[in-house]
A and B are shown apart, each in its own frame.
Chain A
Amino acid sequence: MVAEPAGVSGAEAFLSIDLPALLAALLAALACALPGNFLVLRRQALMGDAMSHVVLPGIVCAYLLAGDILPVAMVAGALGAALLAVALIHLLQRLGGLEPGAAMGVVLTLMFAAGLVLLEQSGASGAHLDVEHALYGNLEGTLWLGPRQWADLLDPASYRSLPRVLGTLALVAAAMVVLAVLFFKELAVTTFDPGFAAGLGISSRAISLGLLGMTALAAVAAFEAVGSIIVIAMFVCPAATARMFTDRLSRQLWLSALFALLAGAGGYWLAAFLPPLLGHPQALNAAGMVGVAAGGMQCAAMLLAPRYGVLPRAWRARWRRRAGTSPEQGRAG
């Protein structure tokens, strides 16, 4: 609407810089949030963190073996590392007698540290593979040098230059949605009551492995965009926030997807557009702000959610004390 005569137009800047980064943040958040629901309910939230960290040595090894950044090799390396991590975690639990959280903590730090050392020594850092990107991702570097104005979005040709990471993320996010919908019953019953599920002919072990596979896939895809630190926020925060608003698992899944998208969009806006409005010359780290937005949303939900929020509960208790009604009446429903 506003015509800018010279240089890079607002639309072009948005389309080539902000839109791809925003899409990457949204898709990464969505891909992680859906399996995150089941991880949180199974008290395995740390597994998401473990997966996002252990993929680093896998990716570095794949790069060293392939000699270049080959998407297929990267994903294979990352999944291989994830499998190795799952095996190690089980081994530590069985042989070392460690509790699951401790076993995951040991394995994720060990493998991540090994990945960092490998990365530093191998000289892989030339190709977008360096410690900083491993930690913070590369949202700002996700550029789409295709569409120059809004109308170009309708032109199929501009999609040829779509950044590869966006394609991967879209595919993985779509896969997460399909898997969560198709296997909703099976994921739910094995999470709630594994022994009962076995009686239904649903193998808890197979479903658990499938969930770990989904987690690894989401972590691998999101790793490149938002880095390993933020991924854990995407696994836990949307699910935990959604749980504050509903008592139905199906609704929790949809809400978590919504909150993930909100965190992705809100975080990116906070990083890219808020600082200039406040007179700050530089944009903030987008992946970091997405994590902050997700965390902030969860804090707000814990305080304010109508039913389970701390403040509404306190207000209701106070109101009841004043009105002198029985606590049961307020709780029912």
Chain B
Amino acid sequence: MVALLKFSPRRPPPPPLSRSPLAVQGLTVAYGGEPVLREVDFVAPEAALVAVVGPNGAGKSTFLKAVLGLQPRLAGRISCYGHPVERQRRLIAYVPQRSSVDWDFPASALDVVAMGLYRRIGWCRPVGARHREQALACLAQVGMADFARRQIGQLSGGQQQRVFLARALAQDARLYLMDEPFAGVDAATERAIVEVLRSLRQRGRTVLCVHHDLHTAPDYFEHLLLLSGRVVAAGAMAEACTAAALEEAYGVRLPAGGATAVRAG
């Protein structure tokens, strides 16, 4: 023991990976040499709804993409339920920004939701009647059962967002990463999403959600990850969401979880 410590004083063995849904250590991400995220440390609790908040360019979407491996990281360790995140992709569902796909694609709402089942269906096998039923049940959870056969381009923005949400539900994951699901949606969709978030938490799932509306964040989420190129504040909403932290992140004085709606979008 003593000898070991003596001979490797600079390299302590890596600490055991956390068992929590998501544990990020020293994550650094750069676009073309310009660091977007620096030294991010974050641990998401079990069965928690976490708002990922920050000004434009704070690296919120980049953070999600780095966790998913869609964006290469310069440094850092990411673990998911005790294992490196690369080996746990089946436990993670991702709801990308609505603008990230071509909605003219020839598919119905049900076709898109069924994509969430592809891993379970397996390679080279067709989508069966049983899978279509499961997909329909997921659409029903977001109140979209009536639109199952509609081509996705003919849905409103909020309805498209709910289709994406239903697709993530179909994956039956344990960790959900959502990139601005509330962006530009109508009131009905916002209520539907909040309901889904709460039912996910009830079933022990953890959700990280990029969110822009500081006004509603404390109502919908009980945890906060405040980013601005680095972690400005993280933890329980009541403690982390302080006026000082928000001012540091946004560079202007904002009321903390306050009465004024602040839309940084």
A185-B127, A202-B118, A247-B108 known; A192 vs B102 contact (CB < 8 Å): yes
The residue in chain A whose Cβ has the minimal distance to the Cβ of B122 is: A185
Contacts of A249 in B (CB 8 A): 105-107, 111
Cα A101 to Cα B100 in complex, Å, equals: 20
Task: Looking at the assembled complex, report how far the CB atom of B189 sits from the nearest CB atom of chain A, in whole angstroms.
Answer: 18
Q: Which residue of A lies closest to B125 (CB)?
A: A185
**Considering the complex, which residues of chain A in the window 149-195 have a beta carbon less than 8 Å from any beta carbon of chain B?**
182-186, 188-189, 191-193, 195
Query: Is A201's beta carbon under 8 Å from chain B?
Result: yes
Contact flags B46-63 to A (C-beta < 8 A → 1, else 0): 000000000000000000
Q: Given the complex of chains A and B, what is the CA–CA distance between A182 and B89 in angstroms?
A: 24
Which of B106, B115, B124 contacts A246 (CB under 8 A)?
Answer: B106
Residue among A199, A247, A249 with the highest chain B CB neighbour number at 10 A: A199
| Distance (whole angstroms) from the CB of B15 to the closest CB of chain A | 27
Give chain A nearest CB distance to B256 CB in angstroms: 34
Specify which chain A residues have a CB less than 8 angstroms from the CB of B171 in the assembled complex.
199
Q: Is A192 in contact with B105, judged by CB distance below 8 angstroms?
A: yes
The docked-state distance in angstroms from the alpha carbon of A196 to that of B68 is 10
Residue of B nearest to A42 (CB): B102
How many chain-A residues does the 8 Å CB contact rule pick out? 25
- A247, B70: Cβ atoms closer than 8 Å: no
> Once the chains bind, are B100 and A192 in contact (CB under 8 Å)?
no
* Cβ-based interface call for B19 (8 A): no
B residues 20-68 touching A (CB-CB < 8 Å): 65, 68
Q: Which of B115, B124, B151 contacts A182 (CB 8 A)?
A: B124
C-alpha gap A193/B168 in the complex (Å): 13
Across the two chains, which residue of chain A brings its CB closest to B120? A200
Contact partner, B107, options A182, A188, A202, A331, Cβ 8 Å: A188
Q: A198 near B107 (CB under 8 angstroms)?
A: no
Question: A193: which of B68, B96, B106, B126 is its contact (CB, 8 Å)?
Answer: B96
Enumerate chain B residues within 8 angstroms of A183, measured Cβ to Cβ: 123-124
How many A-B pairs have beta carbons closer than 8 Å: the answer is: 75
Check: B69 CB closer than 8 A to any chain A CB.
Answer: yes
Q: Say whether A193 contacts B111, CB under 8 Å.
A: no
Pick the 5 closest A-B CB pairs, nearest first.
Answer: A247-B151, A182-B124, A249-B106, A200-B119, A193-B101
CB-contact partner of A191 in B69, B92, B105, B151, under 8 A: B105
Interface residue A41 (Cβ < 8 Å from any Cβ of B):
yes
Q: Which residues of B contact A248 (CB under 8 A)?
A: 106-108, 111
Given contacts A192-B102, A193-B101, contact A199 B118 (CB under 8 A): no
Q: Which secondary structure dominates chain A's binding surface?
A: helix
Question: Once the chains bind, are A193 and B108 in contact (CB under 8 Å)?
Answer: no
Chain A positions within 8 Å of B124 at CB level: 182-183
Residue A228 interfacial (CB < 8 Å): no
Residue among B68, B115, B125 facing the most chain A CB atoms (10 A cut-off): B115
B residues less than 8 Å from A215 (CB atoms): none
Q: Would you call B261 an interface residue if the criterion is a C-beta within 8 Å of the partner chain's C-beta atoms?
A: no
Question: Which chain A residue shows the least CB distance to B154?
Answer: A331
Contact of A199 among B89, B106, B151 (CB under 8 A): B89
What is the CA–CA distance of A45 and B14 in the complex, to the nearest angstrom? 49
The one of B94, B105, B123 that contacts A41, using a Cβ cutoff of 8 Å: B105
Please, how many angstroms separate the alpha-carbon atoms of A182 and B122 in the complex? 11
Hey, which chain A residues are within 8 Å of B107, CB to CB? 188, 192, 247-249
Whether the pair A243, B106 counts as a contact (CB closer than 8 A) is: yes
Q: Are A201 and B90 in contact (CB under 8 A)?
A: yes
Residues of A58-85 at the interface with B, using a CB-CB cut-off of 8 Å, are none
Bound together, the chains give a CA A246 to CA B149 distance in angstroms of: 12
B241 within 8 A of A: no
Tell me whether A142 is interfacial, beta carbon within 8 Å. no
Q: Is A252 an interface residue (CB 8 A)?
A: yes
B127 pairs with A199, CB closer than 8 A? no
Q: How far is the CB of A176 from chain B (nearest CB, A)?
A: 16
Distance in angstroms from A187 CB to nearest chain B CB is: 11
Please list 8 pairs of residues, one from A and one from B, whose beta carbons are closer than 8 Å in the complex, sorted by A's number. Answer: A196-B94, A196-B96, A198-B89, A200-B119, A201-B119, A243-B106, A248-B107, A248-B108
- Structural contact, B115 and A199, CB atoms closer than 8 A: no
| Chain B residues in 8 Å Cβ range of A195 | 65, 68, 70, 94, 96, 100
Q: Give chain A nearest CB distance to B192 CB in angstroms.
A: 20
- Give me 4 other A-B pairs in contact (C-beta within 8 A), A195-B96, A200-B119, A249-B106 excluded: A185-B118, A185-B121, A185-B126, A248-B106
